[in-house]
Amino acid sequence: MNIVILGPPGVGKGTYAEILSNKYDIPKISVGDLFRTAIKDETELGKKIKDYVSSGNLVPDETVIELVKNRLEEDDCGRGFLLDGYPRTVAQAEAIEQFNNIDYAFNFVAPDEVIMSRIGGRRTCRKCGAIYHIKNIPPKVEGTCDRCGDKLIQRSDEKPEVIKNRLVVYREKTKPVVDYLRKKGLLVDIDASYNIEEINEIIAQCEKHLRGLS
């Protein structure tokens, strides 16, 4: 089963992909992680990506496509994969069809107020990087990290006005991709508005479509 994962920041797609990865024993592949690994390993692609990132430019489609293609050719993808963060453009969507068939593109959706509550409630330890949520995963002592005892902070990109802008930018940039995948009959909208205690309701929607593939 070859699955693409889509959704705005804060919708929880990484968590859902992790659960599905463990359940179906297929790798969860994050394009962001691929970037970081390539840069760290100083591969030829990694050097190109580092140059673009360092200069504040977007990594060109052809570089992203080559990186993803190389990863999907590895042995652990033989039974399938969950691809998070790709495609971001129609060109990337068209390219993946040339080297891999896609069974479904799961588009996780939730109202803006739900997403803003999830992101806005996050708190990060300034020392060890542990992540909490003031409602869903609160620390034992308010404002203090359980692991190292340092102070918890709210990142600048997790403040309400910034979150609103991130959602607007995401939708503007991904609309062509979403429209393309929907027209191809690959897109499935998944209601991700459930609370964390009801996460099985979200996973069940995915499994309904995956039963015929496993």
Active site residues: 13, 88, 122, 155, 166
Classify residue 141 by burial, with Cβ atoms within 10 Å: 0-12, 13-18, 19+: exposed
Q: Do 128 and 24 form a contact (C-beta atoms < 8 A)?
A: no
By three-state DSSP, how is residue 105 classified? Answer: strand
Residue 164: φ, ψ to 5°: -55, -45
Residue 125, SS3?
strand
φ/ψ (deg, to 5) at 213: -100, -25
Contacts of 114 (CB under 8 A, 6+ apart): 193
17, two tokens: 């992909």
Which token pair is 140?
Answer: 């034992």
- Per the listing, tokens 């330890």 go with 125
3-class DSSP state for residue 103?
Answer: coil
